[in-house]
Structure 1
Amino acid sequence: MDSVKKNPSSSSATEKLTKILRNREYVKRSTERKKAYYEHLESENKKLKIIIANADLIHKQLLNVHLQLTPEQNQFLINLKNDTFKQETELTKQFTQIQSTLSTRLVGEALRQTGDDTYINNYMSEMHISMGNLRAMEEIMQKADGLRAITLDKIHNRFIKKQFAMALLAISAYLNRITTLSYMWISRPKS
């Protein structure tokens, strides 16, 4: 009977070794799955970039065919796009800076609350400054709305009515395609 009994330390060591080997195999398979998934995502990302590039190209060719732009009108659109982009970038920069300042002030003030008269005076001063920042943010939003209106007005004045209407339809179709691509990407099957 003694020969039938196994050595307890040998059995325990064998079980540990088996468990370690199973864990290594699991980690290896898991790593391979993650690598395959990452490669799949990279592939899908490349496909989407190609689709978007093609959509941009088609959009420009829709635009040029349907609008029948003259070279001067085409150059006008390029210049308008560049000018508008610069202005939008500047407005976004200003808005972000004010928003950051406002957040920092409000969080900083909340951390300094003491309850005495000094706090109340500081609070009123900070509130006044914060209200000024909010007014500045509102002015930036109004400037952005004005920029959109001015841009559309410039296009309207430069093109005949049919071209302007076709441009608005082309822009709408382009935005719908981009939205559809976004929804397709979000709702794609997760493997």
Structure 2
Amino acid sequence: MNPASADITPATRIGSMSFTQETLPQSNLLPFSSDQFENWGDSAMVDNSPRTDTSTDVDTDDRNERFDKGKVIIVAPSDSSDRSKEKAGDQKALRRLAQNREAARKSRLRKKAYVQQLENSRLKLTQIEQELQRARQQGIFISSSGDQSHSTGGNGALTFDMEYARWLEEHNRQINELRAAVNAHASDPELRVIVDGVAAHFDEIFRLKGVAAKADVFHMLSGMWKTPAERCFLWLGGFRSSELLKLLADQLEPLTEQQLVGICNLQQSSQQAEDALSQGMEALQQSLAETLAGSLGPSGSSGNVANYMGQMAMAMGKLGTLEDFLRQADKLRQQTLQQMHRILTTRQSARALLAINDYFSRLRALSSLWLARPRE
């Protein structure tokens, strides 16, 4: 071997090309198998074939690789911006949805309040229509033409009718409470509290009638605030105490001898007071008729104007006593109820109040049935 070729590795021929293999440090060598080496040679032969431009392909690939890397570098911040915009859009959409939900909730609340207001208005209108209908049936005239005399009387009567309706509603509630206590066999102290409450509620209606009589005494005396069947048994704007005691006598048995005497005496005294008031009313009506007739001339027309005015003034003065008769009649009714409670025991008083209520309730029911009867 030539010493000059000691550093030169044997040449290897692959195809028509010769390659000189230099001896490299061992640490830089990669383990290639013979197969891999032959394959690498084959690929080199293909690249050097006339149909393939190796240098052009390599440059193109290198440029493409650099371009692709540049694209990645350029696209990366674009993707981050898109994600930021997407997040911002999502937040706006969420805020918009929250605003829509809040607006829908407020709209539902406004709609609910509006419907409730309409319902309240409808109920109030219905109540007013019922009151006006009742006023028309009872002949109450409320003037809207400026006539204050009609307007004052009508408003006073209508006000009392409304107060009486509220009183009756509360009275029915107390009676139901009393009936439940009696059926449940409540103790006497508990029953006494309810009985005293009902008695005090009767005092309230007498007070309301006294105030209403100052505004329209004719309305109170005629009993137009009661049902037609109740008006059939009306006496001076209310019930006859003596007749009511007769009805209760059979409902309160058994009574002791002392209680029987007390009820009989109360009935007689009530009857006497009623007769006296009835005679006074008859005398007033007769005197009033004579006073009005005294101002008539022979032809039935008004005579002297001064005489006419004097007679009418006298008639007005006598009409003023009607309020006194009504007040005395209500005072008699109130005292009769109070005396009855003193005579009877607590449970007997409870039974008496229930019987009185049932009697007047049946009269009201009879009026409703009569008004609703079929007509030919």
**C-alpha displacement at 1:165, in angstroms?**
2.1
Give 5+ residue unaligned stretches, structure 2.
1-245
- Corresponding position of 2:309: 124
Q: Of the candidates 302, 320, 327, which is equivalent to residue 113 of structure 1?
A: 302
Q: 1:11-63 CA deviation, whole Å, 9 max, x = no partner? A: xxxxxxxxxxxxxxxxxxxxxxxxxxxxxxxxxxxxxxxxxxxxxx9964332
Q: Equivalent residues in 2 for 1:99-178 (5 A)?
A: 99-110=285-296, 111-114=300-303, 119-175=304-360
What secondary structure does 2:287 align onto?
helix
1:86 is aligned with what amino acid?
Answer: Q
Q: Give, in whole Å, the separation in 1 of the partners of 2:267 and 2:248.
A: 15
**C-alpha displacement at 1:156, in angstroms?**
2.0
Moved more, 71-80 or 165-174: 165-174
Structure 1 residues 176 and 63: CA distance shift in structure 2, 3 A: farther
**C-alpha displacement at 1:78, in angstroms?**
0.9
Structure 1 residues 72 and 93: CA distance shift in structure 2, 3 A: same
Choose between structure 1 and 2: higher helix proportion.
Answer: 1
Q: Of the candidates 222, 243, 256, which is equivalent to residue 70 of structure 1?
A: 256
**C-alpha displacement at 1:125, in angstroms?**
1.8
1:94 is aligned with what amino acid?
Answer: G
Q: Give the TM-score of the pair, scaled to structure 2.
A: 0.29
Q: Give, in whole Å, the separation in 2 of the partners of 1:58 and 1:155.
A: 13
- Corresponding position of 2:79: none
Q: Give, in whole Å, the separation in 2 of the partners of 1:58 and 1:125.
A: 47
Provide the aligned C-alpha RMSD in A. Answer: 3.2
Percent identity between matched residues is: 32
**C-alpha displacement at 1:137, in angstroms?**
2.1
**C-alpha displacement at 1:170, in angstroms?**
1.7
Q: Give, in whole Å, the separation in 2 of the partners of 1:58 and 1:95.
A: 25
- Corresponding position of 1:7: none
Does the aligned pair in 2 maintain the 1:63–1:170 contact within 8 Å?
no
What secondary structure does 1:126 align onto?
helix
Q: Give, in whole Å, the separation in 2 of the partners of 1:122 and 1:129.
A: 11
**C-alpha displacement at 1:104, in angstroms?**
3.2
1:99 is aligned with what amino acid?
Answer: Q
Structure 1 residues 136 and 168: CA distance shift in structure 2, 3 A: same
**C-alpha displacement at 1:185, in angstroms?**
10
Q: Give, in whole Å, the separation in 2 of the partners of 1:139 and 1:102.
A: 16
Does the aligned pair in 1 maintain the 2:248–2:352 contact within 8 Å?
no
Q: Of the candidates 71, 80, 86, which is equivalent to residue 272 of structure 2?
A: 86
- Corresponding position of 1:5: none
Structure 1 residues 60 and 155: CA distance shift in structure 2, 3 A: closer
Structure 1 residues 164 and 89: CA distance shift in structure 2, 3 A: same
What secondary structure does 1:127 align onto?
helix
**C-alpha displacement at 1:112, in angstroms?**
4.7
Q: Give, in whole Å, the separation in 2 of the partners of 1:128 and 1:58.
A: 43
**C-alpha displacement at 1:177, in angstroms?**
5.6
Q: Give, in whole Å, the separation in 2 of the partners of 1:175 and 1:133.
A: 33
Q: Give, in whole Å, the separation in 2 of the partners of 1:123 and 1:133.
A: 16
**C-alpha displacement at 1:108, in angstroms?**
4.1
**C-alpha displacement at 1:145, in angstroms?**
0.8
Q: Give, in whole Å, the separation in 1 of the partners of 2:342 and 2:251.
A: 21
State yes or no: 1:95 paired with 2:284.
Answer: no
